[in-house]
Structure 1
């Protein structure tokens, strides 16, 4: 047996001859294997050729199916890679938003504390009382102008909402132009503390939301990276079945993969 194998390996011509003889005798074997083929050899031969043709067609269909599956596997790996890249960019954007929100928290905290300090000084000053001034139209007009000017300046600095200016001009929401300027200034400081405290609470809530969104984007990116490893490993096995895989565009890949992961 070893001598026969060595002879076949050394001389491939006999192998080719045997294969050719087997192919030539295959129709005759099929005819003889069929009882009806003995009575009608021509019909049996036609049936044999049709059988071989159908078998070859099934093989071709199977090869085409495997090529299509391989192409889909390779395409999916490319789409996942594009989606993972996009997710990486999204993580950077969300992280930038969180950093901006964190800076906003620090800024509102500092502004709030400064307003608290101003209000404390105002309370300390008011403890000594306010000097007496005559209640006349001129004095009232001066106090009204002082209130409007002080409220508008605080709103311009962001220490009061813009709506406070309209409220002060119309004497709404506790703004009283009849008060002494010291009392008016203390009222402005008190309102500034309340407003800046609200801004700080809103900034803290926004920072927590931004942090949650950044973490969610990071988890999505990590999940896509793990999927990339699996998809590319599968694509490497069948890539040889797809000689020229069509490139996948970013716009085409993003909805199919990112939406599916989400």
Structure 2
């Protein structure tokens, strides 16, 4: 009995040492598993050159504005081509009708109501041309008010006059499209120049470093805020 008790008592320190070793190994494993996760939550260091970062942000917005202006210019160019094609078609139709009406019409005594019929024909034809955007609303108003229009002309003669008005309308549309295209081009060029200046300033600020920020650079930073960029571009 005494020998068994002595054997048990002598084995207790060994078992305790084994359990302590196991617990230490488990603790080391848990700490090692948590270390990579702790690194994921490390906050990035703030930019040491806030002026350069601000100019770079303004340059990014200016780049988006430049893309929009370029897209608008491309659409304006397509509009110029379309309006010119429409004008050429109107010019061709006007020449054809002018050639067909080159010979004078036979004069005859008008029947009662002929003038009313001719006026109705003019109004219907002008309304249809306005519906297809071959005449403007202003031109249609002139037709109904008989400003510069003779409603008593023969329908063949009215066709020649109407297509002449269509040609004038298409020419005016082409001129307006050219003006819009030129304005869009100027806007695209201004946006591109703004983008170049901002990128150059951002690169220069990075090279100079944070210690060289001056009052002039601070003024530039205040000028190119995000809210003001689209208007400036």
Please, what TM-score do these two structures have when normalized by structure 2? 0.68
Distance in 2, matches of 1:181 and 1:232, equals 76
Match of 1:94 in 2: 69
1:230-249 alignment, distance < 5 Å: 230-235=204-209
Distance in 1, matches of 2:229 and 2:60, equals 11
Match of 2:141 in 1: 166
Distance in 2, matches of 1:75 and 1:81, equals 10
Match of 1:152 in 2: 127
Tell me, which stretches of 5 or more residues in structure 1 are unaligned? 1-70, 239-251
Match of 2:14 in 1: none
1:79 to 45, 54, 59: 54
Match of 1:112 in 2: 87
Q: Tell me: CA distance 1:168–1:215, structure 2 relative to 1, closer, same or farther (3 Å).
A: same
Which has the bigger relative contact order, CA under 8 A and spacing at least 6?
A: 2
1:206 to 175, 180, 191: 180
Tell me, which stretches of 5 or more residues in structure 2 are unaligned? 1-45, 213-222
Task: State whether structure 2 residue 166 is matched by structure 1 residue 192.
Answer: yes
Please, what TM-score do these two structures have when normalized by structure 1? 0.61
Contact 1:83 1:257 in 2 (8 A): no
1:217-232 alignment, distance < 5 Å: 217-232=191-206
Q: Tell me: CA distance 1:133–1:181, structure 2 relative to 1, closer, same or farther (3 Å).
A: farther
Q: Tell me: CA distance 1:177–1:85, structure 2 relative to 1, closer, same or farther (3 Å).
A: same
Deviation at 1:234, TM superposition (A): 3.4
1:33-85 Cα shifts (integer Å, max 9, x gaps): xxxxxxxxxxxxxxxxxxxxxxxxxxxxxxxxxxxxxx997221121011101
1:158-177 Cα shifts (integer Å, max 9, x gaps): 221101222111211x1111
1:100-142 Cα shifts (integer Å, max 9, x gaps): 1101110110111011011101111111333445423421121
| Number of residue pairs matched by the alignment | 178
Distance in 2, matches of 1:256 and 1:118, equals 51
Q: Compare the two structures and name the one with the higher helix fraction.
A: 1
Q: What is the RMSD computed on CA atoms of the aligned residues? A: 2.9
Question: Aligned with 2:152: secondary structure?
Answer: coil
Task: State whether structure 2 residue 228 is matched by structure 1 residue 254.
Answer: no
Distance in 2, matches of 1:196 and 1:95, equals 26
Match of 2:153 in 1: 179
Distance in 2, matches of 1:212 and 1:148, equals 42
